[in-house]
């Protein structure tokens, strides 16, 4: 990375990045934020594992390091690094080791701790070996949580490098559920992390990221306040309170070059706010593809997320029978890595309500079908129990699919309750997380849909809202500057 540049250099360390790997919104965030930063003129590098399914994809890549090695404890590991151009001024560096990443799983192996411990060490080793020392390392979630501590202890190479640790989801703190770790094995977060293979699986990567990063942020202003409380702090609220002067919230954005019904190649008919009649054609086309009853007047409600308790699926289990008494359709899009209980539930609903419910699951998240669902649906469910930010609701609004959402975290920052009298608001919100309030919000949406002229105005206005990366990317640059300043002060001590 050229050090004579007036603008500092940025490295993102992440377990996933679109279009190569994805289980959730973090992959989109890293890609879109990197694009915007490169457009601002910053030099950006993204470091991510080279999973088996990436290896099988066809795209141009260059090997930039054939045989590097590192030691964890007494065990030596070799790795290679492949480089892919993502955008002008933005490259991805894939860390390659088949033992760690050769399978098709991003998460869910019995040695995830070792895998991501190795990944972080390999990333820093490559930076040192190739003299690619960035000004800022932006660490995403627990999979990069050890980097701030490693950087602190490697003053010879990283003395001037600042670290920013972004909490995308505080529940995930390491390879094991933090609340299931026996008290005797819980990680204090102090000192160097253990190198014993068994002990590594009990490291609290997130705790160490929070403890050592120059700046900490989460992905909405509201959630930055929430995580300081016992309700949302996931056992780390006291640590976060001690470091609250370093904790900030930056709402995510979406990339309108990617998520735009006017240009989206995945949908049946392109449209914009001035050609909304084509949205109904998308509905008819999706109904035909998914074997739903074909009717452009039947309200279609979409759901696209991990099939997990956090995303509100338990709430849907308890309420869909009631909802489906009305004339409406439900379309669920996701991947097969969701909770089996929830997958089985939706499969039963498809059989029970033939022509009214459809489920579309693939091994890896089907972004093409998600686009079709956004383009076809009238409403979009975001009933998350908690939601640090959420970007699916921003996508749905751009496609004219009005969210029905729980008032929490980033959903609270981006969705305002619709008032048919004033015509203000962009969604239907429920404050308390229970079946009754959810059903009231969903019923309000369905009833308002009957008034088509008002609904079309709501759709038209919602599509014109902007959740671009322009402002969030600028806020991250300010956080980087703060981190660099703190690093300089701490480096003098």
Tracing tokens 């669902």 back to the chain, one arrives at: 373
- Is pLDDT larger for residue 491 or for residue 147? 147
Which pLDDT belongs to residue 3? Answer: 46
Residue 491 predicted with pLDDT over 80: no
Whether the bond into 172 is cis, omega within 30 of 0: no
For CATH 3.40.50.2000, the residue range(s) in the chain are 9-253+470-491, 277-463
Tokens of residue 322, six digits: 């009631």
Residue 5 predicted with pLDDT over 50: no
Give percent of the chain above pLDDT 90: 90
Give 223-229's long-range contacts (Cβ < 8 A, gap of 24+). Answer: 223/249, 223/387, 223/388, 223/389, 223/409, 223/410, 224/248, 224/249, 225/249, 226/386, 226/408, 226/409, 227/167, 227/170
Residue 4 predicted with pLDDT over 80: no
State the CB neighbour count (10 A cutoff) for residue 184.
Answer: 6
Residue 7 predicted with pLDDT over 50: yes
Which pLDDT belongs to residue 58? Answer: 83
Stretch 268-295: mean pLDDT: 97
φ, ψ (nearest 5 deg) of residue 45: -125, 140
Alpha-carbon distances, residue 363 vs 104, 125, 175, 267, 302 (angstroms): 10, 33, 21, 21, 19
Which pLDDT belongs to residue 2? Answer: 42
Lowest mean pLDDT among 138-147, 212-221, 357-366, 381-390: 357-366
Which pLDDT belongs to residue 363? Answer: 80
Mean pLDDT, the chain, rounded, equals: 95
Which pLDDT belongs to residue 143? Answer: 98
- pTM for the model stands at 0.90
Cβ atoms of residues 91 and 10 within 8 Å: no
φ, ψ (nearest 5 deg) of residue 40: -70, -10
Residue 6 predicted with pLDDT over 70: no
Alpha-carbon distances, residue 85 vs 63, 88, 448 (angstroms): 12, 7, 47
Stretch 252-267: mean pLDDT: 95
- Burial letters 265-276, b for 16+ CB under 10 A, else e: eebbbebbbeee
Query: At 492, is the pLDDT very low, low, confident or very high (cuts 50, 70, 90)?
Result: low
Which pLDDT belongs to residue 493? Answer: 52
Lowest mean pLDDT among 5-19, 383-397, 413-427: 5-19
Residue 1 predicted with pLDDT over 90: no
Tokens of residue 354, six digits: 């033939």
Alpha-carbon distances, residue 428 vs 122, 280, 303 (angstroms): 46, 21, 15
Tracing tokens 């990617």 back to the chain, one arrives at: 258
Domain 277-463 classified CATH 3.30.70.260? Answer: no
Residue 337 predicted with pLDDT over 80: no
Stretch 51-78: mean pLDDT: 92
Dist. CA 253–CA 11, nearest whole Å? 19
Cβ atoms of residues 172 and 144 within 8 Å: no
Query: At 119, is the pLDDT very low, low, confident or very high (cuts 50, 70, 90)?
Result: very high
Which pLDDT belongs to residue 28? Answer: 92
Residue 336 predicted with pLDDT over 90: no
pLDDT, tens only, 62-73: 999 999 999 999
Overall size of the chain counted in residues: 493
CATH fit for domain 9-253+470-491, picks 3.20.20.100, 3.40.50.2000, 3.40.50.2300, 3.40.50.20: 3.40.50.2000
Which pLDDT belongs to residue 226? Answer: 96
Residue 249 predicted with pLDDT over 50: yes
């Amino acid at each position: 990375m050229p050090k004579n540049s007036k603008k500092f250099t940025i490295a993102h360390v992440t377990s996933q990045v679109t279009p190569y790997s994805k289980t959730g919104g973090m992959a989109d965030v890293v890609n879109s934020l990197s694009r915007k930063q490169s457009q601002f003129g910053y030099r950006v590098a993204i470091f991510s594992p080279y999973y088996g399914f990436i290896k099988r994809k066809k795209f141009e890549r260059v090997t930039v390091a054939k045989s590097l090695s590192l030691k964890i404890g007494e065990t030596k590991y070799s790795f290679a690094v492949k480089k892919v151009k993502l955008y002008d001024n933005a490259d991805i560096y894939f860390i390659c080791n088949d033992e760690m990443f050769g399978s098709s799983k991003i998460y869910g192996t019995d040695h995830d701790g070792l895998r991501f411990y190795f990944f972080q060490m390999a990333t820093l080793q490559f930076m040192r070996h190739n003299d690619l020392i960035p000004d800022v390392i932006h660490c995403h979630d627990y999979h990069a949580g050890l980097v701030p501590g490693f950087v602190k202890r490697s003053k010879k190479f990283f003395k001037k490098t600042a670290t920013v640790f972004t909490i995308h989801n505080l529940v995930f703190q390491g390879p094991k559920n933090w609340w299931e770790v026996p008290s005797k094995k819980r990680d204090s977060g102090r000192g160097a992390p253990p190198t014993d293979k068994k002990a590594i699986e009990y490291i609290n990567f997130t705790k160490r990221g929070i403890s050592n990063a120059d700046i900490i942020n989460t992905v909405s202003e509201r959630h930055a306040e929430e995580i300081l409380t016992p309700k949302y702090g996931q056992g780390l609220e006291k640590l976060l309170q001690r470091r609250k002067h370093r904790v900030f919230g930056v709402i995510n954005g979406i990339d309108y070059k990617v998520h735009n019904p006017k240009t989206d190649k995945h949908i049946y008919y392109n449209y914009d706010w001035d050609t909304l009649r084509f949205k109904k054609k998308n509905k008819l086309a999706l109904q035909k593809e998914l074997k739903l009853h074909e009717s452009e007047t039947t309200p279609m409600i979409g759901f696209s997320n991990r099939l997990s308790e956090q995303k509100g699926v338990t709430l849907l289990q308890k309420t869909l029978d009631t909802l489906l008494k009305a004339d409406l359709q439900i379309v669920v899009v996701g991947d097969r890595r969701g909770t089996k209980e929830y997958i089985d539930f939706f499969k039963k609903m498809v059989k029970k309500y033939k022509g009214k419910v459809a489920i579309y699951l693939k091994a890896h998240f089907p972004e093409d079908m998600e686009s079709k669902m956004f383009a076809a649906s009238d409403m979009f469910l975001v009933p998350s129990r908690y939601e640090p930010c959420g970007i699916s609701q921003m996508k749905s609004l751009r496609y004219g699919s009005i969210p029905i959402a729980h008032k929490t975290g980033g959903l609270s920052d981006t969705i305002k309750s619709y008032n048919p009298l004033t015509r203000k608001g962009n969604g239907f919100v429920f404050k308390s997380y229970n079946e009754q309030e959810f059903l009231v919000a969903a019923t309000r949406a369905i009833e308002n849909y009957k008034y088509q002229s008002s609904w079309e105005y709501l759709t038209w206005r919602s599509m014109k809202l902007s959740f671009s990366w322009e402002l969030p990317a600028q806020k991250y640059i300010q956080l980087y500057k703060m981190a660099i300043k703190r690093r300089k002060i701490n480096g003098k001590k």
